[in-house]
């Protein structure tokens, strides 16, 4: 038996194929990109196919054909008994991996307004997988689900209750990643009763306070704009600024574009790629220094906030593109936190893998871990657990 994981975005479709055993060995991963943009590209293992990929149906067909043609290497597509789909928004409804039925699809559709860029593509991925892998059970794993344990005192905004009843509250995202690295941290430290602060620093970025494996707070909110400074998103901003700009005549679409696409590191430095900021910092560029100080200052502020919320911390866990690869960001994010028992070993921090992912100093009371995130594997793991129950 095999599990196929699908992450369908608006113009891309990522996939990974796993053996459905405890080890969840990855057999194949790949990506169809530039869907609907004229010439598309399909990558899998060492294959690259350039062809028009007008829609998700075409992308899924190429994947199915690829699997059929390479059945000797990766096993027949008939062995795929479950397809796990990453679905961004599960609203208040979905707190765990969910077997897809017509009702579940309707519910995902009813949440389109909460994630207009993501949920429609995710649903397309589900419908196409139903079409091309009809013998497999389809399962949705939600990026918001892990954060559904956040208590009302944290997730509720102090605005009139009528809005809360309409679903306006904090949801949080990157849940699959925060959950994965929390579990890995527990395995690494050999215990489950942990107070963790997880930092997913990719193009999008968020932190979570995790107690005994449950999310207690996170930095993203109703949408993915709140909290940390990101590649092109602002992170926290006083809502008065938005009112001021709207009253000044800025259109809603322009404001949306400004906050989502033209802010963050891109606005502060000129590039949304942390590698460019690091290069600027190394050459003494004051803009890069400021961008990095704002970026890591926000992280430090939330480390403090989450230590207060958890009454301390056993470990910080850095993950995703920047968290895994930027020693400079890790170092600056914990600068001056020795008063709280957090101290990094600068040498270990240069090469975490060599030290089993632990980069705190010998004196540090709080562990500092670097754990590569594997969202597809987490989805597959949740599917496998469900498969044990239902298959």
Binding site for ligand ADP (CB under 6 A): 202-204, 231, 273-275, 278, 320-322, 325-326
* Minimum distance of ligand ADP from residue 278's CB (angstroms): 6
Q: Which lies closer to ligand ADP via its Cβ, residue 11 or residue 203? A: 203
Q: Select the residue whose beta carbon is closest to ligand ADP and give its number.
A: 321
- Three-state secondary-structure class, residue 6: strand
Q: Which lies closer to ligand ADP via its Cβ, residue 364 or residue 373? A: 373
Rounded CA-CA distance 90/193 in Å is 27
* Minimum distance of ligand ADP from residue 42's CB (angstroms): 19
* Minimum distance of ligand ADP from residue 276's CB (angstroms): 8
List, in order, residues 6 or more apart from 142 with CB less than 8 Å away.
87, 88, 89, 90, 94, 98, 175
Q: Which lies closer to ligand ADP via its Cβ, residue 26 or residue 203? A: 203
- Three-state secondary-structure class, residue 219: coil
In 3D space, the residue among 74, 14, 77 whose CA is nearest the CA of residue 41 turns out to be: 14
Rounded CA-CA distance 94/91 in Å is 7
Q: Which lies closer to ligand ADP via its Cβ, residue 77 or residue 202? A: 202
Catalytic residue among 143, 256, 314, 338: 143
Rounded CA-CA distance 278/1 in Å is 45
Burial class (CB in 10 A: 0-12, 13-18, 19+), 29: middle
Rounded (10°) CA dihedral 339, 342, 343, 347: -160
Place of tokens 């890069």: 288
* Minimum distance of ligand ADP from residue 213's CB (angstroms): 23
> In this structure, is the dihedral angle defined by the CA atoms of residues 143, 148, 153 and 158, taken in order, positive or negative?
positive
Q: Which lies closer to ligand ADP via its Cβ, residue 125 or residue 202? A: 202
Establish whether 143 is a catalytic residue: yes
* Minimum distance of ligand ADP from residue 299's CB (angstroms): 14
Rounded CA-CA distance 10/121 in Å is 5
Rounded CA-CA distance 273/232 in Å is 9
Count other Cβ atoms within 10 Å, centred on residue 271: 17
In 3D space, the residue among 382, 376, 370, 236 whose CA is nearest the CA of residue 299 turns out to be: 236
Q: Which lies closer to ligand ADP via its Cβ, residue 274 or residue 342? A: 274
* Minimum distance of ligand ADP from residue 324's CB (angstroms): 8
In 3D space, the residue among 21, 269, 330 whose CA is nearest the CA of residue 277 turns out to be: 269
Q: Which lies closer to ligand ADP via its Cβ, residue 205 or residue 342? A: 205
Buried b / exposed e along 123-138 (16+ C-beta atoms within 10 A): bbbbbbbeebbeebbb
Q: Which lies closer to ligand ADP via its Cβ, residue 93 or residue 271? A: 271
Rounded (10°) CA dihedral 57, 59, 61, 67: -150
Count other Cβ atoms within 10 Å, centred on residue 376: 25
Catalogue the active-site residues.
143
């Amino acid at each position: 038996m095999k599990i196929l994981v699908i992450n369908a975005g608006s113009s891309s479709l990522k996939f990974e194929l796993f053996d459905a055993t405890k080890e969840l060995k990855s057999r194949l991963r790949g990506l169809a990109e530039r869907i609907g943009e004229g010439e598309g590209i399909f990558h899998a293992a060492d294959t690259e196919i350039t062809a028009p990929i007008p829609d998700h149906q075409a992308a899924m067909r190429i994947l199915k054909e690829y699997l059929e043609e390479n059945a000797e290497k990766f096993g027949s597509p008939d062995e795929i008994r479950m397809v796990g789909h990453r679905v961004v928004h599960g609203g208040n409804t979905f707190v765990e991996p969910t077997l897809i039925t017509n009702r579940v699809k309707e519910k995902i559709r009813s949440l389109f307004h909460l994630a207009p860029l993501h949920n429609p593509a995710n649903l397309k991925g589900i419908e196409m997988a139903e079409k091309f892998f009809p013998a497999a059970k389809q399962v949705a794993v939600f990026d918001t689900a892990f954060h559904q344990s956040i208590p009302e005192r944290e997730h509720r905004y102090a605005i009139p209750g009528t809005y809360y009843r309409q679903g306006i509250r904090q949801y949080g995202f990157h849940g699959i990643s925060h959950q994965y690295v929390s579990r890995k941290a527990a395995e690494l430290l050999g215990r489950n009763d942990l107070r963790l602060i997880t930092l997913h620093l990719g193009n999008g970025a968020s932190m979570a306070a995790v107690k005994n494996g449950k999310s207690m707070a996170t930095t993203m909110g109703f949408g993915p704009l709140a909290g940390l400074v990101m590649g092109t998103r602002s992170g926290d901003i006083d809502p008065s600024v938005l009112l001021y700009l709207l009253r000044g005549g800025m259109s809603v679409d322009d404001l949306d574009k400004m906050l989502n696409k033209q802010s963050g590191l891109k606005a502060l430095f000129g590039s949304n790629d942390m590698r460019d900021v690091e290069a600027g910092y190394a050459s003494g560029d004051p803009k890069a220094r400021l961008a990095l100080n704002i970026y890591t200052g926000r992280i430090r502020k939330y480390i403090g906030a989450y230590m207060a919320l958890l009454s301390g911390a056993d470990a910080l866990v850095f993950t995703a593109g920047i968290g895994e690869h930027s020693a400079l960001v890790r170092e600056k994010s914990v600068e001056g936190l020795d008063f709280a028992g957090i101290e990094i070993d600068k040498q270990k921090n240069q090469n975490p893998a060599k030290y089993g992912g632990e980069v705190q100093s010998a004196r540090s009371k709080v562990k500092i871990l670097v754990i590569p995130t594997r969202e597809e594997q987490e989805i597959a793991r949740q599917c496998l657990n469900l498969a044990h129950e239902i298959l």
